[in-house]
Structure 1
C-alpha cells in the first residue's frame, strides 16, 4: 500500500520561486522518508488568497512556468498540488483545481465545486465551479480528491454536497483527500474535528485533510492537517500555526488514534502571534511601534508583538496628556521592562496647547466636547505615524472588536496604523487573553488588568460612561453579528430592548469608521472589517 506525506506549507502570495523551493524541499524530505504520494494545500504555488492577481495575465503566466518546473522535477514520487487552472468557454476563466502529478505530467485533476463565499473570500469572482467528483487510482486503491469547502456539510453551504456525486460513480473511493486553505476562527478546530468525524462515519471512509498555514493580510491559516479513520477517529493531526509533514501508510490509518485537540484561548493567542509575525515578515516591515496607554488592550497587543517579532524589534511609546494618570505611565513602563522592549515617553501637552491656540478663534463661544478629546487621540496617532515613517516600523493599533463595533475609537487617532492586532477580539476575550498571558508569570502588570478601562481623554472618564458593561455588550454583539438575531430575539435573551436597539444603531452608524480601519487579524466567523457590510447612507432602523 501507499506511504503518503501530508505537507502543510506557508507560502507567500506571488513569491513563486520561493514557494517552489519550499515545495521541492518538502518533496525531498518525503522522498527520504520513502513516501509514494506527497499532498500539498490548496493554491500551493501561488499562495491563498491571491484575489485580483488572478486577473493579471503575468501572474498566471509566472505560475504556469513555475508549475512546469515542478512537474519536470518529479521522479519516483507522485504529487498533488493546488493550482488556478485555466479554462475555455463561457463563465470565469479559471478553475480552483487540484492536480495529480506523476512521471513528469498531469495525470488527473479535480475542480473545486463549492466555491467559498464569505466575508473574507469571494471565489466566484474568479473561479468557475467544477461539476463532477474526481476519483483516481493509485497503488491498488481509489482516492476521492476534493478541495476546501467541498467536504463541509450542506447546511454550511446551502448547496448540494459534492460527495453525493460519489454514490453514482462506477467505483467508490477507499480514501478521501481534501486540500484546503482554510482560515482560522475561534471554534474552528472543534467544529472541523467534529464535522470530519461525522462525515467519515456516515460515509465509512477515511479522510486525509491538508491545510495551509501562515497569515495573509488579516487571515491566519492554522494548519492542523488531519488523518481521520473511517470510524471517525482522529489518527494523526498536524502542528498548529507551523509548517509540518504527517506521514501515513494507507493501510494503517485505522490502527492507532490520538485525542482530539482541545479548543482553548491558546489557539487565539497563537493565531494572533502568527498573524503579526507573518504580516511583518511578508511585508518586509520587521520592526514595530505601538502606543502603550497603560490599559489592557495595548498591553495585550504589546505582548503579542514582542512574542511575534522579538522584543528587540518592538518600540512601545507612552504619550501622556494632562489627563493621563501617573499610574498609567508607570504601568506602561513596567510592562515594557518585563517584555524587554524599548520604551519612550512623549508628552503631548505642548501639542494640545498649540491646537487649542490655533483653534481658539474658531471655537470661541463653544463648550469643550468630544472634539477636543479626539484631538488628543489624533495628536498621538500623528506622532506614532511619524515614528513609523522615520524608522520604517509597522504601526500596530490596539482597538478591540467591541469598541470598533460601537465606534468607540477615533478616526485618524487611535485607529492609525498598518495592522490592528486585536480588532476582531471582543473586550471580554481580551481579559481572558491577559489572564492566559499571565498564567506562567506576570507579563502584564496586575494593576493594568484590574483597573477600570478608561480612554483618559477627560477627567474621571471611564469606558462604562459611554458603553454598556462589556459582558452585556459582547453578548448582544455576538447575537446580532454572529448569530443573525433580530432585536426582539436578542431582547428575549434577557436584554433591555432599548439598549439592544441603541447598540445595533451604533454598529450601523459607525460603519464608516470600520471601512477606514487598518487590516485586522481575523479570529471570528464574521470579522469586524470587512465582515460587517452596511451601507454608509441609509434610512433603515431596527
Structure 2
C-alpha cells in the first residue's frame, strides 16, 4: 500500500541514431539530474539508447551487442532511483524494449506489444512483439509499463495493467510529429487516463532525425485526465512532477467500473518488486503536480518543428554551414529565416543569381532580406552562363523555338553554382521548394531540386505564406520591424524564368490547388469524391495528371522535414511505373 507521494522525472532528451556512447552519456546525466531533484522514478523515451528509428542498424548483431553493453553500464549508475530506459533487446529475437534499472543492475525488461507498420513506421520489419502487459511494484505502488503504440491502442495492455491494480501507467515514446500531433496525442492520453483511472506519465523523444521531427511534449495526467505537468515542445527538458498514487485507488472505490471487467481480464505479471527510493523532503511533498508548459498554436508549432528539424539535420550530420539561393520569392525567404533561427547568421550563406528575366524588385528584396538576416551574400549574374549554354546547344536546337528547356537551364545553372559552393567549402545546400510544387512537379530536376535537405518540402504553399507572416509577426513584436520585406509576401508568385511569368499561368491558384492536393495526396480521395467536395472537374483532372506524372521527380528530391499527416517519401509510397490514373 503506497503511503505517500511519488516523485517522477521525465527526461525528454534528443537522442542521435547510432550514437550509443553519446546517448549513454545523456541518459546517465539524466539519471543524476533526476536524483538531484529527489525523483524516485525517472523515465526516458522509447529506444533512447540507440535513437529512433535505428532502421537497418537493428540487423547488425554488433550494434545490438553494443547497445546491451551500454545498458549494463547505465544500470550501474541507477542507484537511489528507479530508471526506465528504452533500448533494443536481443533475446531469442529482437524486441523494442523497456529496461527497469535499480540498485545498480537491470532488474527486468518489458517488451513492446503493438508494433506499428503504417505511415513512417516499419517496426514489424525489425521487431518481434511482446506477450502482453507487465507491472513493476515500487514500494507498493503498482506501475504498468507501455511503449508508444501500446497506449495508442484502446484496451490492453494498459487496461489489463489497470485491472491488475496499477495506479500509474508509464509510456516511453518516440512519436513522430506532424501539425497538430501534440494536441491529438494529449487528447488520446486524457482518454486513456480516464479509461484506466490511472495516473499516466508519457515521456516523449525530442529532436530531428532525417525527415522526422519529435516534439517531446511529455505529460503527466491524473486519473481524471487532468494535465498536472507538461514539458515544452521541441526542447530537451527534465520534467519533474509529484503524484499521489493512492488517489486512483481511492477514486475506484467510488467508481467501480473496472471491477466487472477486471474479473475477465488477462493476468498481468509483476516483473520486478523494488524498494521505494528515499522520498523528497517533506516541504517538497506538500503539493502534487509540476510545471505545465503552454502549448504553441499550430503555425508557431510548425515553425518550431522546421527550426528543430533543420538544426538537428545540420548538426547531427557534421555540417557547419548551409547555403541557399535567395530569389526574392516567398519560399526561399522562409527557408532563409528558418535557417538563421536554427543556425544563427554565421551558419548561413545565400546567393542571389539574377537572369535577364529577374526583376530588379525581386533582386533588391532578396538583398534586403540578406541584410536583415545578417548572412553572407554572394551574387552571380547567370546571363553569361546562359549565353554559353545557348552557343553550345545552338546546332542541335537549330530551328526550334525556346521553350521549357531554356527555362530549366536557368534553374540548373543556379543549382550548379550552389553545389560548387557546397563542394568548395563543405556547406550543405538547402533546397527551397514547397509541397505544392513537389506535388505537381513544378520544379526542375538538377536545378531547384538540387540540394542536401529540403526544409519546406512538406509545407503547402498556403502554409508557406502563413509561416512567413508568423515570422514577421514575431519580428515586429520583438523589434517593431518585419524581418522579411512585405513585398516578398504580397507579390504574385513567379519562377521568373520567362517574361511576365506567373505560377497561375501553369497551375490553379494555390487557394484552389492546395485543398485538391490535400484531398488527393493526404486523404487518397478519388476524382468523384473530390467533385463531391465542390472542386471543378477540370481543375481536379489537371491536378491529378500533374501529381501522377511527377512521381519520378519526387523520388530524386532531397529529404525534407515531415510536418503533414502524409509526407512524400516515408509516408506516401507510389510506384513510378504505374498506369492506374487518379
Q: 1:109 matched to which residue of 2?
A: 109
Decide whether the 8 Å contact of 1:229 with 1:253 is kept in 2: no
Separation in 2, partners of 1:133, 1:161: 7
Is 2:575 aligned against 1:501?
no
- In structure 2, the residue matched to 1:118 is 118
Worse-superposed segment, 461-470 or 197-206? 197-206
Larger radius of gyration: 2
2:503 to 458, 463, 469: 463
Distance 2:548 2:144 in 1: 45
Q: Matched residues in 2 for 1:207 and 1:129: separation?
A: 23
What secondary structure does 2:569 align onto?
A: helix
Query: What does residue 259 of structure 2 align with?
Result: none
From 513, 522, 527, give the equivalent of 2:562.
Answer: 522
**Equivalent residue for 1:240, pick from 229, 233, 240:** 233
- The counterpart of 2:369, out of the listed 335, 340, 343, is 335
Q: Name the SS for the 1:236 alignment partner.
A: strand
Match in the other structure for 1:204: 197
Q: 2-side partners of 1:262 and 1:436: how far apart?
A: 12
* Cα distance in 2 between the residues matched to 1:253 and 1:410: 63
Instruction: Show the counterpart of 2:394.
Output: 360
CA deviations on 1:410-460 (whole Å, 9 max, x unpaired) are: 011001111101000010000000110110231100010000000001111
* Residues 47-73 of structure 1: per-residue CA shift (max 9 Å, x gap): 111111111122112212211111122
Query: What is the CA–CA distance in structure 2 between the aligned matches of 1:374 and 1:304, rounded to whole Å?
Result: 27
1:22 correspondence with 2:26: yes
Query: 1:79 maps to what in 2?
Result: 83
Instruction: Find the partner of 2:467 among 433, 446, 453.
Output: 433
Maintained 8 Å contact 2:42/2:84: yes
Equivalent residue number for residue 7 of structure 2:
3
SS of residue in 2 equivalent to 1:529: coil
Aligned mate of 1:374, from 404, 408, 412:
408
In structure 2, the residue matched to 1:215 is 208
| Corresponding residue to 1:442 among 453, 471, 482 | 482
Task: Point out the more displaced range, 228-237 or 58-67.
Answer: 58-67
Asked if the contact 1:227–1:253 (Cα under 8 Å) also holds between the matched residues in 2, the reply is no
- Given that 2:72 and 2:106 are in contact with CA atoms closer than 8 Å, whether structure 1 keeps it comes out as no
Structure 1 stretch displaced more, 261-270 or 209-218: 261-270
- Tell me how far apart the structure 2 counterparts of residues 301 and 86 of structure 1 sit (CA, whole Å): 42
Partner of 2:270: none
Q: Aligned equivalents of 2:138 and 2:424: distance in 1?
A: 57
Q: Is the 8 A contact 2:230 2:293 kept in 1?
A: no
Superposition pairs of residues 141-180 of structure 1, within 5 angstroms = 141-153=141-153, 161-166=156-161, 171-180=164-173
SS of residue in 2 equivalent to 1:179: strand
1:396 is matched with 430
1:52/1:364 Cα in 2 relative to 1: closer, same or farther (>3 Å)?
same
Q: CA deviation at 1:344?
A: 1.3
Is residue 144–residue 169 contact of structure 2 (8 Å, CA) maintained in 1? Answer: yes
How far, CA to CA, are the matches of 2:551 and 2:398 in structure 1?
Answer: 32
2:529 matched to 1:536? no
SS of alignment partner, residue 135 of structure 2? strand
In 2, Cα distance between equivalents of 1:540 and 1:415:
26
Aligned with residue 385 of structure 1, among 404, 419, 432: 419
SS in 2 for 1:214: strand
What is the CA RMSD across the aligned residues, in angstroms? Answer: 1.6
- Alpha-carbon distance, 1:271 to partner: 0.5
Tell me the TM-score normalised to structure 2 length: 0.89
Question: Residue 58 of structure 2 corresponds to which residue in structure 1?
Answer: 54
Normalization by structure 1: what TM-score? 0.95
Contact 1:193–1:260 (Cα < 8 Å) also in 2: no
> Deviation string for 1:373-400 (max 9, x for gaps)?
1111011001100001101111001100
Change (3 A) 1:2 1:539: same
Query: Unpaired runs of 5+ in structure 1?
Result: 155-159
Q: 2:382 aligns with which of 339, 344, 348?
A: 348
Distance 1:259 1:83 in 2: 28
Q: Report how far residue 131 of structure 1 moved.
A: 2.4
SS state at 2:202 partner: strand
SS at match of 1:528: coil
SS of match in other structure, 2:305: helix
- The equivalences for 1:259-278 within 5 A come to 261-278=295-312
* 1:157 aligned partner: none
- In 2, the alpha carbon distance for the partners of 1:56 and 1:256 equals 42
Deviation at 1:251, TM superposition (A): 1.1
C-alpha distance in 1, partners of 2:357/2:579? 38
1:222-301 to 2 correspondences below 5 Å: 222-251=215-244, 258=292, 261-301=295-335
Could you tell me how far apart the structure 1 residues matched to 2:148 and 2:397 are? 58
Q: Measure, in 2, the Cα distance between the counterparts of 1:262 and 1:332.
A: 30
**Mapped partners of 2:243, 2:356: distance in 1:** 68
Deviation at 1:363, TM superposition (A): 0.8
- Unpaired runs of 5+ residues, structure 2, are 248-287
How many residues of Structure 1 are paired with residues of Structure 2 in the alignment? 531
SS in 2 for 1:84: strand
Q: Which moved more, 1:489-498 or 1:375-384?
A: 489-498
| Alpha-carbon separation, structure 2, partners of 1:243 and 1:475 | 35
